[in-house]
Amino acid sequence: MTERSVVHSTFAIERSYPASPERLFAAFSDPAKKRRWFAEGEEFQIEHFEVDFRVGGIETARFRSKDGRQTFQNDTVYRDILENRRIVIAYNMSAGQTRISASLATFEFIPNGKDTDLVFTEQAAFFEGADGPEIRKEGWRLLLGQLEKELAR
């Protein structure tokens, strides 16, 4: 696809974790912990992962597909950090040398009894060729529609 286009989208994901806001926050502020849930566990190799967790600090994560052909990179800047309460990041996603999205993402930690609720909100601009979450969400919606059709047969 060579046509130029920008798709804007905002979406939120809410989760509740049986942990204090302090422990949840530590999973973001401690680079070793962050690496384990953020970068590991996907079907690609981690080529580079570096976190400078402070306002204005930069985080770089670079991945390579298993066949070695494609690289993906996340370039993140921490825009706001309120200890145990809120983290705001701005980030680009790139496929090879091409930037495919630019986003502002907010993590809010809200105590809820013994648990902590996490509200993740992403406000994103997806560029041409993007395989961003919104497009995946759309893909997911279509796939569920297909499954529904198959179930209705």
Partner 1 sequence: MLSQTARVDRVFHALGDPTRRAIVEKLCEGPLSVSRLAEPLDITLAAVVQHLQVLEKSGLVRTEKAGRVRTCRIEPDGLTVAEKWIMDRRSLWQRRLNRLGNLLAESDD
CB of 11 to partner 1, least distance (A): 9
Closest CB to partner 1 among residues 3, 40 = 40
Nearer Cβ to partner 1, position 51 or 118? 118
- Report the alpha-carbon distance of residue 105 to residue 39 in Å, rounded: 17
Alpha-carbon distance 109 to 21, whole Å? 6
Place of tokens 């130029």: 4
Using CB under 8 A as the binding rule, whether residue 36 contacts partner 1 is answered as yes
Q: Residue 37 and residue 21: Cα distance in Å, rounded?
A: 17
Residue indicated by tokens 């979406």: 11
- Residues of this chain that interact with partner 1 (CB under 8 A) are 13, 15, 17-19, 23-24, 26-27, 33, 36-38, 40-42, 118, 120, 122, 133, 136-137, 139-140, 143, 147, 150-151, 153
